[in-house]
A and B are shown apart, each in its own frame.
Chain A
Amino acid sequence: MKRVETDVVIIGGGVTGAGTFRDCLIRGIPAVLVEKNDLASGTTGRNHGLLHSGARYAVKDSASAVECIGENRILKKIARHCIEDTGGLFVALDDDDPAYGDRLIVSCRSAGIACREIAHQEALRIEPNLNPRIVRAFTVPDATIDPFRLVSANVLDARERGGQVYTHTRVNQIMTGPEGVTGVQCQNRLTGETFEIRARVVVNASGVWGEKVCRAAGIEMKMFPSKGSLIIFDYRVNRVVVNACRMPADADIFVPGDTVSLIGTTSRKIAYEDIDIAEVDEEEIAVLLEGAERLVPNVSRTRLLRAYCGVRPLISLKKGEVDGRSISRGIVLVDHEMRDGLKGLISIAGGKLMTYRLMAEKTTDLICRKLDRTDTCTTSQLPLPGSETKGKLTTRRNQFKGISASVIGSTQYRHGERVHQILKSDRKHDGLICECEMVTAGEVEYALQHLNVEDIVDLRRRTRLGMGPCQGALCACRATSFFVELKKMSGEKANQMLVDFIEERWKGIKPILWGDALREAEFSYWIHQGLISKKKKLEKPDEV
């Protein structure tokens, strides 16, 4: 059996795992990242993509608000190419409690969040699609952050510093000896190959799947999964993040992102055994659409692109907890040596997408203590790959002769300074493979070679290919060819990969299948079944 030697194994390729992986490598600690599916394929990639200012939490949970604004400022510096500094608004309509705005101002001030009331006419000028029934408005430093880019950049940095990544690889067992954990036993889900990774510290950064990971070490750690659903609209109907100015509730945040806008979320308790099969239901769709129309009325005439849900990893601190009363919504770092007497195992959970760096810092500090090291954290200063240069990214487009501005813009938007490694102006590389999102053949090739891409679903997360209006109707076939050419994939595997990709897109389309979404689905069906004559293959069972 193959054996890999390292100091730290991190289980989970979400943003927390990726951030911890990078922090370790920056501090010079050898580390390996293992992810059972793809990077950012779990909860990390299934939320608003909101870079909170903290204002949303200020009234109810001031500790979270302080955490948010601190990380907000840091990420705007180190992850510039993953962030759009849109700004945010809190808007109160005529039927909202007007007093909430006063509490918001006071709470934001004490948390150090710049929050200012503006005239409601001014809010309508900033955001013309807002409900004209608005009576009060407040600006806050909210922004948006792309979770896929963020994870990819963290992993890319760690790899360039010598870290190893195994995606589509499941941890079957956490190995222990008299001195505590000794490593993990893994299996590559694509090839079936099993291997061992020997390490002194194992970090469980697998979010809601952490309960299962702990079970693999013989430890009980209960999760209380909460499903959050969102709807994506096919147009960017708002410019800034729009929050409903009232106590946090369902469907109260409307976020612009790339070429789309999203409304979310809901919060529904689900059974732990359902975490891999959670779907958006009819009731949630109705609640989300109502909430969206309340903030931005014209979304009722906007095409729905898809609906999706994520499962929040709420964790119980107490052993033997059954009813979830001691659930923590903050960052939870568990040293299993203290909790369960198992040396070398750490769990990190809770928190938010945008507090990942802080979670990684706390985790890596604990790793250092376990390894008797004194290295300090520098991730708040070191920009991610792609975000190195200060100043506006858009100023250097004239460096690319013969390539259209929209292609340069989109590529730079996704990869920051790495655009220089991607764009080539020759016929083989500059053709558009995904026209909705302006992904060139060169970008596909770069992603396949440098960004841990094993299939089209992975490719979508790295490049946005297939995320636009056509949902992969045309680009999926084109992209498949690159896997045959560059990864030497067989025809049979390529067919299955294409089918899996289209089925993955279909999951998000099904709940909102009417109007233009139905038109598009009919077109896509013609293309795949008619023009391409893609015959159905059996879906492969989703393992956990």
Chain B
Amino acid sequence: MRFDSIIIGGGIAGMTCAIRCAEKGLSCAVISSGMSALHFASGSIDLLGRFPSDSVVTNPFDQMPDFINHNPEHPYARCGEKAIADSLQYFTDQLQQQSLQLCNNGRQNHFHLTTYGTLTPTYLSQKSVYSPELEKAFFENQKMALISFEGFRDFHVPLISANLPGQTLFQNRQVTTGTVDLSPLIRSQKNPHEFRSIDISRMLETDEDLQKIADHINELAGDAGIIGLPACLGFIHHASVYEKLQRLVGRPVYEIPTLPPSILGMRLDHALKTRFSNLGGVFIAGDKVVRGEMQSGKLSGVYTENHGKTLLKAGSVVLASGSFFSGGLISDSAGIREPVFNLDLTYEKDRKQWARGLFFQPESHQFLEFGVKTNEQLNPFDSSGHLIDNLYCAGAILAGYNPIREGSGGGVAISTGYTAAEMIIGRTASTGAARP
């Protein structure tokens, strides 16, 4: 098997890269070893949310030149301002093709409510979480309702409503709360692990149930002008569920992220995979790349667990296997390594420095910034320091940034995935390897 590009990792970085390559006519395979980290994500795309001082960034694009200047090794510096902006637009357009609409607040960040009832800045959100229309409705209505489902343990109304008064945007608001009992609508026997956001989403995708649930919500919401619900308003058919529900309750509804599994993240995951497959890409699920094959300084392909001795040949390879959580980086008491190619890493050798004394220390933890060292074209180096110029790295495996402290995880994944794709498209065009 030979592909123009093989992408290792089916997360947000890998899929953005894969879609861009496939769209440009490259034969492309994604090898994904497990569930995407999107299942645990908020489903909004952070670009640059916080300054090192922890204060909120209002306009991430205005800050970007300065930010890149101060952080020359940051993945954003590898991409450059233009590619960052282009990639986010591209990402939005591609998801739009799959009826998943992402909204932004012009060039500014907006806030979304968290599972905890606090506010966090982000750049792109799904239409049911943030849209200019929702923002308008939010400011026009002092009375709001916060409604959940009886026994749904990943969303807690008492906790959220206890925290809301502490948020500037929610001061002096009247919040009505309530829970809808779904028991009469549950047909199948449940086990104690069921009744998650995905189970509720499926119920809401049934028109008959949706009508009954909407009636309950309507009753509980009283005269509130806007209704907040846990993010489980449909999975595959979320767009129509959202429209129907708003019509049935006769007022704007918005979704608040839940604890994982995150339907908002799963929608992104599903849309990305469908888009890639619609473009003719090959998605190899449940397989793991074990090593690469080098030929005169270049990577000629990769071996996987399931393909055994069969070499999957590739013109270019992208490593987007994530950080520790996803297995892109592996640590033991002696140090850290990248398990597929044994790439050169940037990390602190003294293990005592990996983390801080307090978990919530404002400076955050050093281990979050560890990762693969690359040149400006996102090419990594092998363990003896030799550049591998047809291997590219994207997303959380990259060194030099702290996705959580900066509020930059989604933005880095998309912009580096996109930039890696642009590099591959460039080189494939110049060598004439692209297929019609």
Please list the residues of chain A having a beta carbon within 8 angstroms of any beta carbon in chain B.
403-404, 406-407, 427-428, 430-433, 435, 438, 440-441, 474, 477-478, 480-481, 484-485, 489-492, 494-495, 499, 502-503, 505-506, 510, 513-515, 518-519, 521-537, 539
Point out the residue from B119, B150, B360, B365 that lies within 8 Å of A503, measured CB to CB: B360
Beyond A407-B192, A431-B151, A502-B360, whether A526 also contacts B163 by CB under 8 A is: no
Check: B404 CB closer than 8 A to any chain A CB: yes
Q: Which of B40, B116, B158 contacts A526 (CB 8 A)?
A: B40
Q: Tell me if A537 and B323 are in contact (CB < 8 A).
A: no
Known A427-B151, A427-B181, A533-B114; judge A491-B162 contact (CB<8 A): yes
- A526 adjacent to B150 (CB under 8 Å): no
Select the stretch in B63-71, B255-263, B294-302, B338-346 that faces chain A: B255-263
Residue of chain A at shortest CB distance from B355 = A513
- A398 vs B152: C-alpha distance when bound (angstroms): 26
Q: B173-206 vs A: 1/0 string, CB under 8 Å? A: 0000000011100000001110100000000000
* Interface mask (B348-371 → A, CB under 8 Å = 1, otherwise 0): 000100110111111011011000
A505 partner residues in chain B, CB cutoff 8 A: 359
Given A474-B259, A481-B159, A525-B359, decide whether A514 and B332 contact each other with a Cβ distance below 8 A: yes
User: Does B331 count as interface, using CB distance less than 8 angstroms?
Assistant: yes
- Asked if B72 is at the interface of the complex by the 8 Å CB criterion, the answer is no
Report Cα–Cα, A404/B195, bound state, in Å. 14
Residues of chain A lying within 8 A (CB to CB) of residue B362: 536
A432 contacts across to B, CB distance below 8 A: 153, 192-193
Q: List 6 A-B contacts (CB under 8 A).
A: A404-B191, A427-B182, A481-B158, A531-B42, A532-B118, A536-B358
Q: How long is the Cα–Cα vector from A527 to B257 in the complex, in angstroms?
A: 12
From known contacts A502-B360, A525-B368, infer whether A532 and B115 are also in contact, taking CB-CB under 8 Å: yes
Say whether B153 contacts A522, CB under 8 Å.
no
Do B115 and A531 have beta carbons less than 8 Å apart?
Answer: yes
How far, in Å, is A402 (CB) from chain B's closest CB? 9
Say yes or no for B61: interface residue by CB 8 A criterion: no
- List residues of chain A with CB within 8 A of the CB of B171: none
Asked if residues A431 and B153 are in contact (CB atoms below 8 Å), the reply is yes
Q: How far is the CA of A433 from the CA of B332 in the complex (A)?
A: 31
Nearest 8 Cβ contacts at the A-B interface: A481-B156, A491-B162, A427-B151, A536-B360, A533-B120, A481-B159, A506-B359, A485-B158
Instruction: Tell me which residues across on chain A come within 8 A of B331, comparing CB atoms.
Output: 514-515, 518
Known A427-B182, A481-B156, A533-B116; 8 more pairs at CB < 8 Å: A403-B192, A404-B192, A435-B193, A477-B156, A481-B159, A491-B166, A519-B325, A529-B404
Pick the residue among A478, A489, A518, A536 that contacts B367 (CB under 8 A): A518
Measured CA separation A71–B156 after assembly (Å):
46
Neighbouring A residues of B404 by C-beta, 8 Å: 525-526, 529-530
Contact of A433 among B153, B195, B368 (CB under 8 A): B153
Instruction: Give A404's nearest chain B residue, CB to CB.
Output: B192
8 Å CB interface, B387-421 against A:
403-405, 409
Separation in Å of the B295 CB from the closest CB of chain A? Answer: 33
| Chain B: minimal CB distance from A367 (Å) | 43
Q: Is the CB of B156 within 8 A of A478?
A: yes
Chain A residues near B42: list those with CB within 8 A: 530-531
Collect the chain A residues with CB atoms within 8 Å of residue B191's CB.
404
Query: CA–CA, A515 to B334, complex, Å?
Result: 10
CA distance A517 to B162 in the complex (A): 32
A474→B324 CA distance, assembly (Å) = 19
With a cutoff of 8 Å between Cβ atoms, the chain B residues found around residue A524 in the complex are 359
Name the interface residues of B324-339: CB closer than 8 Å to any CB of A.
Answer: 324-325, 327, 330-333
Which of B118, B183, B323 is within 8 Å of A522, CB to CB?
Answer: B323
A529 to B361, CA, bound (A): 11
Chain A nearest CB, measured from B294 CB (Å): 28
Min CB distance, A116 to chain B, in Å?
39
Tell me if B165 is interfacial: C-beta within 8 Å of chain A: yes
Q: Which residues of B contact A440 (CB under 8 A)?
A: 192
Residue pair B359, A526 in contact (C-beta under 8 Å): no
Per the bound structure, the CA–CA distance linking A533 and B192 in Å amounts to 28
B230 in contact (CB, < 8 A): no
Most chain B CB within 10 A, of A499, A502, A536, is at A536
Highest count of chain B CB atoms <10 Å: which of A404, A518, A519: A518
- For the complex, what is the distance from the CA of A404 to the CA of B189, rounded to whole Å? 11
Residue from A433, A477, A499 having most chain B Cβ neighbours under 10 A: A477
Docked-complex contact A539 and B162, CB < 8 angstroms: no
